[in-house]
Amino acid sequence: VSKRCLENGKWEGIGETGWTNYTTCYSPDLIQLFKKLFTGPYSHDAIKYQIAERTRTLEIYGFSISLAALFISLYIFSHFRVLKNNRTKIHKNLFAAMVAQAVIRLTLYVDQAIIRARKVQGIDNTPILCEASYVLLEYARTAMFMWMFIEGLYLHNVVSVRVFQETFHYKLYTSLGWGAPVIMTSAWAVTLAVQMKTECWWGYNLSIYFWILEGPRFAVVILNFLFLLNIIRVLVVKLRQSHTNEIEQVRKAVRAAVVLLPLLGITNLANMLGAPLDRQVWEFAAWSYATHFLTSFQGFFVAALYCFLNGEVSIQTI
């Protein structure tokens, strides 16, 4: 940390205390982020900061609503015996991963709000506990992506690969859904513990090491997109065989895609592309509101589409 004393005996900057240079405390990735946000041709940093605060509020509402919807869905799937089939087993694991992510995120967000308002000790400023919280968060996120992949794989096999239609490897799916994220998250956490020296790994999502997790997640999104295209192709072929007109074929195929998009995690792709910090305010606002809305309310949409609007569920609950 440094300050510069001018020839007139005053500190450089505005006010009596002047300006303090904290840049040496930050990683190169964070410094680059600040440059984009504060020195770009369309900086408007105060407005962008307000947008960030509002999207955080949006996230809190979104994750809270998603959490309630997911808990209700898990109860419904567990309570009615007729709903205990292979498909709902996968749904329940996906919902559980989403619940874990929402609980950890809300805990961290509330903790940060309390610390900033009351200047007290919390998770965010407690060494080891803070890092452990983010390790759990990233594990839950990775598990969610893996179960999204399993959803896509199972649906793809049921629709297009008849030979696998009656085969259900639940133990293999469980190992992949909950076990593989342990390996990936552990590798990432060990790397950060060795390489990152910032407090609570601040800005870890900007570092190249984050791709230890983001790489597999990105691969899941791409694979599920390919699954989706093939599923739609198979559906179109089947619709043609049923002698429906072309408009009806397109309508049903598009409807299938829209229903599958939230479940298969393709909506997370926009969040992986990075924030347009150095662009105009409206571009930053559009990206922020869209991505945070989709990611925080994703649990609600998945619960609604695959539980509340499910025909079998409606029969059991009415």
* pLDDT, tens digit, 9 for 90 and up, residues 198-236: 888 988 988 899 999 999 999 998 998 888 888 888 877
Q: Taken in order 270, 300, 285, 107, is the CA torsion positive or negative?
A: negative
Domain total of the chain: 2
Together in a domain, 99 and 231:
yes
Together in a domain, 87 and 34:
no
Return the CATH number at 132.
1.20.1070.10
First to last CA, the chain: 65
Half-sphere exposure of 106 toward its Cβ, with a 13 Å CA cutoff? 17
Confidence of residue 52 (pLDDT cuts 50, 70, 90): confident
Coil, strand or helix at 305: helix
* Range 150-167 average pLDDT: 73
Range of the domain at 289: 43-317
Say whether pLDDT at 64 is over 80: yes
**Beta-carbon count within 10 A of 302 CB:** 24
Q: pTM (2 decimals)?
A: 0.83
Nearest to residue 272, comparing CAs of 184, 181, 211, 198?
211
Q: Nearest 10 degrees: CA dihedral of 218, 220, 222, 226?
A: 180
Together in a domain, 216 and 278:
yes
The least confident of 122-126, 175-179, 311-315 is 311-315
